[in-house]
Structure 1
């Protein structure tokens, strides 16, 4: 008789576990009371793992982050296309601060990022005329990113999910940006070299002019993945009071 009841108890325990099996990956830690220092260390520990992707949730890697085509057009007719682009460095971002209050989160961190791909560019930027088609590599050192994220609770199938409603971004280049671009002036290596030198000497002005559209596009791509993460995991597995 004891064995019978013991077997029934195990059955219900296993069945209960299956019904309430945790969706969140094991590396996700909960911070009781949402204390800032706990959130900061948890996000810092999560970034390198999250960056590799989460196959169980069909979440793609963000390091490297890949995009077939990014187009930036500026007033005055300057247009640049980045083709078969990859961005690396997100996994090594350093978290400076994190705060969360159930409806909104604020995060500040800084990163060293590298963008590679093929590029096409035509038009005038600053005082330089460009008509280029070649290889591109852009090294961004110590860029500070300030993110605000607004959430909303959404109920599905009896579970509450805290989904991303909107986000806003501000950034500041606290380091520098270095460009490595081939064939900036088609068929003329000497002019191409001179133009590249000018660009790197005036990198701050250049990034002030076209940097925001590029950063906005990178963050948009990352947040497509972040949104999927929050849509996939019940709120109770991520946040507790």
Structure 2
């Protein structure tokens, strides 16, 4: 699963130039938006490829083993212990599916490979974080998070082997799904999006676990 919204942490931490733990992030002032964007863009290839020294796994592509469902750009706002992120981008989800039931009002059955292209998805992530003390150092902790999402432009669905390869029925389902992409996306996507955001938060939390606040904030 390829994910575009990978590096939200870079937008609100400003790393000391002397930090050996994260030398790939440019030191920025908290309100220096140009520097923050430039730093995020430069650090993106490093973070998305994984940082073994911090235990951070690769984020692009992001592999999700299994998602269960019962249903068929970057801005930042931070204050105190709360951070709200607006993540914009397009992405591709690909993997294996098994479906039996109804997709909105149409009966559907099949199993095989799927591919969903999503254009201009906006995800808002609200994070509550705290601090923990270890010796003389303090570290940030992610206490809780929640998210909302919306697709502004469109989505395209492709499912292989629908109805055991019956092309006529498969074409009808795809025409219906792609003509009603918004309703279909709202029905099938929430577990995928939640799992993806959760895995990204989990990987980024490893940065907080290893790097003390004094090396993350430029005063």
Question: Normalised by the shorter chain, which TM-score bucket?
Answer: 0.7 to 0.9
Q: Please identify which structure carries the higher helix content.
A: 1
CA shift, 1:107, in A, is: 1.6
Show the counterpart of 1:91.
none
Whole-Å Cα distance in 2 between the matches of residues 36 and 167 of structure 1? 25
Preserved contact between residue 184 and residue 196 of structure 1 (Cα < 8 Å): no
1:85-96 equivalence runs, <5 A: 94-95=73-74
Whole-Å Cα distance in 2 between the matches of residues 39 and 164 of structure 1? 21
One of 42, 48, 57 as aligned partner of 2:39: 42
1:99-118 equivalence runs, <5 A: 99-118=77-96
Preserved contact between residue 23 and residue 234 of structure 1 (Cα < 8 Å): no
Q: Answer yes or no: is 1:167 the counterpart of 2:145.
A: yes
SS of match in other structure, 2:60: coil
One of 158, 163, 181 as aligned partner of 2:136: 158
Preserved contact between residue 39 and residue 98 of structure 1 (Cα < 8 Å): no
Deviations 1:140-179 (A, max 9, x none): 1110111221110111232110111111212110121111
Q: Answer yes or no: is 1:29 the counterpart of 2:26.
A: yes
Deviations 1:105-126 (A, max 9, x none): 2221211111111211111121
Return structure 1 stretches of 4+ with deviation > 4 angstroms. Answer: none
Q: Answer yes or no: is 1:56 the counterpart of 2:53.
A: yes
Whole-Å Cα distance in 2 between the matches of residues 73 and 115 of structure 1? 18
Preserved contact between residue 28 and residue 238 of structure 1 (Cα < 8 Å): no
TM-aligned CA distance change 1:67 to 1:213, over 3 Å? closer
Q: Name stretches of at least 5 consecutive residues in structure 1 with no aligned partner.
A: 1-20, 79-93
Whole-Å Cα distance in 2 between the matches of residues 22 and 238 of structure 1? 9
Q: Answer yes or no: is 1:197 the counterpart of 2:175.
A: yes
1:181-220 equivalence runs, <5 A: 181-220=159-198
One of 125, 133, 141 as aligned partner of 1:147: 125
Whole-Å Cα distance in 2 between the matches of residues 123 and 36 of structure 1? 52
TM-aligned CA distance change 1:49 to 1:43, over 3 Å? same
Q: Root-mean-square deviation (CA), in Å? A: 1.9
Show the counterpart of 2:206.
228
Q: Please identify which structure carries the higher strand content.
A: 1
Show the counterpart of 1:6.
none
SS of match in other structure, 1:67: coil
Please give the TM-score of this superposition, normalised by the length of structure 1: 0.77
Higher gyration radius (CA): 1
Q: Name stretches of at least 5 consecutive residues in structure 2 with no aligned partner.
A: 1-17
Whole-Å Cα distance in 1 between the matches of residues 208 and 94 of structure 2? 29
